[in-house]
Amino acid sequence: MHRQPNVHIHLGDCLPILQGMESGSVNLAYLDPPFFTQKVHRLAPRDRSREFSFDDLWSSQKEYATFLFERLSEIRRVVADDGSVFFHCDRNAVHLARAIMDDVFGSENFRSEIIWHYRRWSNSQRGLLPTHQTILYYTQSDNYTFNEIWTEYSPATNVDQILQRRSRDGSNKSVYARDEQGNAIPNGTKRGVPLSDVWDIPFLNPKAKERTGYPTQKPLLLLERIISLATNEGDCVLDPFCGSGTSLVAAQLLNRTAIGIDLSEDAVEITKQRLEEPIMSQSRLLDVGREAYRNADDNALAILQGVDYVPVQRNAGIDAILKQDFAGGPITVLVQRPGETLLEAARKLSKASASKGAKLMFLIAMSRGGCFDFAEELPTGVVVIESPALGIREHLDKLKRPDVLLEKASYLPPVKPESLFETL
Amino acid sequence: MHRQPNVHIHLGDCLPILQGMESGSVNLAYLDPPFFTQKVHRLAPRDRSREFSFDDLWSSQKEYATFLFERLSEIRRVVADDGSVFFHCDRNAVHLARAIMDDVFGSENFRSEIIWHYRRWSNSQRGLLPTHQTILYYTQSDNYTFNEIWTEYSPATNVDQILQRRSRDGSNKSVYARDEQGNAIPNGTKRGVPLSDVWDIPFLNPKAKERTGYPTQKPLLLLERIISLATNEGDCVLDPFCGSGTSLVAAQLLNRTAIGIDLSEDAVEITKQRLEEPIMSQSRLLDVGREAYRNADDNALAILQGVDYVPVQRNAGIDAILKQDFAGGPITVLVQRPGETLLEAARKLSKASASKGAKLMFLIAMSRGGCFDFAEELPTGVVVIESPALGIREHLDKLKRPDVLLEKASYLPPVKPESLFETL
DNA sequence: TACACCTCTGAATCTTCCA
DNA sequence: CTGGAAGATTCAGAGGTGT
């Protein structure tokens, strides 16, 4: 048994250790037990010098159910009256876990089925890519600790709706309240939308420094959210299958005390190290948000509708690549931006495409950009395509020319698109 | 019993009707059964001495479980060998549903736990806002129909790694492959990322036209996705608890046949009406596919960016009016829709514009529509402008011509947009 | 048939390079 | 020198393949 200021780590099966604990002494239990996946998890740590592994092969579902049932029953005893339990489930065991939890804690104490959603790699082509895990949230009683977390309004939300007070009219319809002068009544400050049960938190990235090399490691952010939802400072967090100790690190960072238990010596060792030197990887994605990566903005891409393309987001010189190849290389596309000449755009596209091996590039012209004579200077392989805006604008300009009679103008023959290829 | 061309609707309990159906006659079954949410299973937490058993869950809800089990067994019989079942679950019954489905179809035929995620407004303050529902996806066998759907890469993904082939170096590290000159080797066409099991589909807006007033109505988009994933055109879709018939409408729109069953006369009546309505107003969808049409409709105007226009709602022949006038009348704009020839679009535009006194109309061409020689027949005053999609597509076609040398093609001089106006 | 091993993939970080 | 953008790398799944 190792002792950190406010964190206790035990080595061994959690059942006897739980049995030795005082009733009601824990405010939050988080469990991520080994699952009945019939696979041995195996992963080399970052330095590739050691291997961790644990065996979660249970001879039958019944045996596994009993294993869980015994430990959960003890957990129920040690959790305080206003305490909570979060049970992290493999998708192959959710229903089993739910049934056992209903049995132990009572279905009336089931609060939420939390979906942890993340994006992930895979080359799976037949079937849907699994990108979520489930966390079952139960409380000991109706009177549980819950700290609200507010998130941002959806971009689609009508601001009026948020800012104006509402009332019911004669027929009990919800309407905006008005004062005597008919003005809207402000509704005070708004905190946002209450946290939902679907959590979008990035999966722990293979390159993250936060990684310990221990299998099934969870992101710190996930545990921080759980702990701050269900406990207050000074409360006690229990993790009976603590693995690499993410929950304990999170508890420590949030000024909670914590008790961790694990069967594996490696796990306990790693956890001790992490507690002394907690590393939370600096995630740019989390810092700046997913949106910050988008430089192929939707406006630009909307111009491309009707084309089969893949949007490209992390490259200033390329908005999209076509799904089709050409001469062994990709076909890249850029939409000219406001305030940028056609030639500038073409050079950007050409430069960015060079390293991608593209031999054909399409540039969508939004304006003439002060450069009518670009043909000679245009980088090799760049093909300019007009946007409708440009076509419309130029056509209108043409109609203003003194030598074009207005009456005749409305009878203009349509432009034959074939003329585009006259230069071929 | 009501009969539409390819949709049969039955009134009554589905069990006897299923029993009368032929084995293997259905390719996809979608169920959204009623849930008896009166929380019969309010089990008091037990003493810890007992063992957990699945029988407890079963017997506590015996009546309901039996109800489902009987019907699911029949469903298994009528589903074809390569068929699928999607079971839409109430969150209070997922585990029960999963257990029964495992029993009837076998856990080895469990494919996915689909999370339907939507945003929802609520001021609930204690606890997490439920914003998801679960759909269990099972197949009849290993050899099941599955049509891949591809989605966008994460914005944080960089293009290089998806465009370049990779190999292993001496120490088995993954690195980019290079040819003798040290250039990157392209890795073939890219389609995007396979569809994940978390689906972000907006909940039916309370004001949406789609809404029938029937409770628990699901968005069309959700059903369309399920049907297009698991069936091909002409296949048969079964919905034994069809309610307001969203699945049947979706099946019809996607050229599948469908069988719907419901206990309620109201439900059957509403379904009949909904089925007739889309046939009347959207017969075109049957030819061109719902997806293309919807996208075009939503985004039609996006293609006009860079132009000063006022969007026009609810006018089939006009998408926008330019802020600028011409010859004393407005200038109208229409974007050609998928499945519509250029000439059809031009006539629509011309007809709709006549009453507005427009003397100049712009038609944005998205395809050639089988009509290369439209110039003469084109209504007076209509000017055709090419969409970038069209320009790109035609350019690529040009490059495929036998008389165009590939080597030369990649060095094609850029098209001078001026050439567009040579016919003036 | 079962299983070990090799290949492919892409999210998100780390690293490098360039302006 | 510095900050940001582009490029390189890691590793967990899912397949495929060969024994």
Q: What is the mean pLDDT of each run of 10 residues along chain A (424 residues)?
A: 71 95 97 64 37 41 82 96 94 86 92 93 84 95 92 54 56 61 57 85 82 81 93 97 91 94 88 80 60 66 85 88 85 88 88 87 80 62 86 78 47 37 32
Question: Is a pLDDT exceeding 60 seen at residue B215?
Answer: no
pLDDT score at B313? 66
Chain-centre distance for alpha carbon A15: 35
| Amino acid at site B133 | Q
Structure tokens at B170: 């001496």
- DSSP E strand stretches across A66-169: 79-89, 110-117, 132-139, 150-151, 166-168
Q: What is the mean pLDDT of the segment spanning B76-89? A: 95
Tell which residue, B2, B4, B6, B1, has the closest CA to residue B258. Answer: B6
| Cβ A106 vs Cβ B45: under 8 Å | yes
Length of chain B in terms of residues written: 424
* CA pair distance A84, A229, nearest whole angstrom: 10
pLDDT score at B204? 58
| Cβ A245 vs Cβ A277: under 8 Å | no
Kindly state whether A355 is in contact with chain B, defined as any CB-CB distance less than 8 angstroms.
yes
Question: Is a pLDDT exceeding 50 seen at residue B294?
Answer: no
Type and span of the H or E element at A272: helix A265-276
Tell which residue, B304, B379, B301, B318, has the closest CA to residue B343. Answer: B379
| Biggest alpha carbon–alpha carbon distance for chain B | 92
The model's confidence at residue B275, banded by pLDDT at 50, 70 and 90, is confident
Contacts of B183 in chain A (CB under 8 A): 357
pTM: 0.81
Put simply, the answer to whether B163 touches A318 (Cβ < 8 Å) is no
DSSP secondary structure letter of residue A88: E
Helices and strands: H and E segment counts in chain A: 12, 20
Instruction: Find the CB nearest B127 among A130, A146, A419.
Output: A146
H-assigned helices in A112-155: none
Instruction: Find the CB nearest A126 among B41, B146, B412.
Output: B146
| Amino acid at site B2 | H
The model's confidence at residue B227, banded by pLDDT at 50, 70 and 90, is very high
* CA pair distance B62, A301, nearest whole angstrom: 54
Sheet strands side by side (includes B198-200):
B2-4, B7-11, B257-262, B236-239, B26-31, B79-89, B132-139, B110-117, B198-200
From the CA of A287, how many Å to the C1' of D16?
Answer: 39
Which residues is A55 bridged to in the sheet? A40
Put simply, the answer to whether B52 touches A74 (Cβ < 8 Å) is no
- Closest chain A residue to B380, measured at CA: A411
* CA pair distance A82, A111, nearest whole angstrom: 13
Query: Apex CA A104: angle with CA B70 and CA A65, to 5°?
Result: 65
| Cβ B366 vs Cβ B346: under 8 Å | no
Question: Is a pLDDT exceeding 60 seen at residue B408?
Answer: no
From the CA of A124, how many Å to the C1' of D16?
Answer: 12
Neighbour-count burial of A400, counting CB atoms closer than 10 A to its CB (0-12 exposed, 13-18 middle, 19+ buried):
exposed
SS3 A216: coil
Contacts of A194 in chain B (CB under 8 A): 122-125, 128-129
Put simply, the answer to whether B129 touches A378 (Cβ < 8 Å) is no
More confident residue, A240 or B167: A240
Chain-centre distance for alpha carbon A410: 53
Put simply, the answer to whether B362 touches A392 (Cβ < 8 Å) is yes
CATH superfamily of A2-149+195-287: Vaccinia Virus protein VP39 (3.40.50.150)
From the CA of B168, how many Å to the C1' of D18?
Answer: 20
Neighbour-count burial of A223, counting CB atoms closer than 10 A to its CB (0-12 exposed, 13-18 middle, 19+ buried):
buried
The residue to which tokens 């907690």 are assigned:
A278
* CA pair distance A81, A365, nearest whole angstrom: 66
| Cβ A197 vs Cβ B130: under 8 Å | yes
Q: What is the mean pLDDT of the segment spanning B181-186? A: 78
C chain positions with any atom within 7 Å of a protein CB: 7-14
| Cβ A387 vs Cβ A365: under 8 Å | yes
More confident residue, A88 or B291: A88
User: Who touches strand C, with Cβ under 7 Å?
Assistant: A 118-123, 202-203, 205-209, 281-286, 290; B 153-154, 156-158, 161-162, 166-168, 174, 187-188, 190, 192-193
Question: Is a pLDDT exceeding 90 seen at residue B182?
Answer: no
Strand D proximal to A182 Cβ, under 7 A = no
End-to-end CA distance of chain B: give it in Å, rounded: 63
Residues 6+ apart with CB under 8 A from B52: A65, A66, A68, A69, A99, A100, A103
More confident residue, A62 or B107: B107
User: HEC string of chain B?
Assistant: CEEECCEEEEECCHHHHHHCCCCCCEEEEEECCCCCCCCCCCCCCCCCCCCCCHHHHHHHCHHHHHHHHHHHHHHHHHEEEEEEEEEEECCCCHHHHHHHHHHHHCHHHEEEEEEEECCCCCCCCCCCECCEEEEEEEECCCCCCCCCCEECCCCCCCHHHHHECEEECCCCCEEECECCCCCECECCCCCCEECECEEECCCCCCCCCCCCCCCCCCCHHHHHHHHHHHCCCCCEEEECCCCCCHHHHHHHHCCCEEEEEECCHHHHHHHHHHHHHHHHHCHHHHHHCHHHHHHHHHHHHHHHCCCCEEECCCCCCCCEEEEEEECCEEEEEEECCCCCCHHHHHHHHHHHHHCCCCCEEEEEECCCCCCCCCCCCCCCCEEEEECHHHHHHHHHHHHHCCCCCHHHHCCCCCCCHHHHHCCC
Instruction: Find the CB nearest A388 among B112, B160, B387.
Output: B387
pLDDT score at B212? 53
SS3 A275: helix
Kindly state whether A192 is in contact with chain B, defined as any CB-CB distance less than 8 angstroms.
no
Question: Is a pLDDT exceeding 50 seen at residue B406?
Answer: no
Q: How many Cβ atoms from other residues are within 10 Å of residue A16's Cβ?
A: 11
- List, for residues B87-105, the tens digit of each pLDDT value: 999 888 888 898 889 888 8
Pairing of strands B174-176, B166-168: antiparallel
* CA pair distance B87, B107, nearest whole angstrom: 14
Type and span of the H or E element at A238: strand A236-239
| Cβ A72 vs Cβ A140: under 8 Å | no
Query: Apex CA B290: angle with CA B284 and CA B293, to 5°?
Result: 75
pLDDT score at A158? 47
- Closest chain A residue to B116, measured at CA: A198
More confident residue, A86 or B41: A86
Structure tokens at A166: 């509402």
* CA pair distance B391, A305, nearest whole angstrom: 12
Question: Is a pLDDT exceeding 50 seen at residue B177?
Answer: yes
Mean pLDDT over each residue of chain B, to the nearest integer = 77
Instruction: Find the CB nearest A299 among B305, B359, B385.
Output: B305
The residue to which tokens 């379904």 are assigned:
B271
pLDDT score at A417? 37
Kindly state whether B146 is in contact with chain A, defined as any CB-CB distance less than 8 angstroms.
yes
Put simply, the answer to whether B43 touches A103 (Cβ < 8 Å) is yes
Kindly list the domain boundaries of chain A, sorted by start residue. 2-149+195-287, 153-190, 294-421
Structure tokens at A129: 């890519």
* CA pair distance B381, A244, nearest whole angstrom: 73
| Cβ A385 vs Cβ B392: under 8 Å | yes
Strand D proximal to A357 Cβ, under 7 A = no
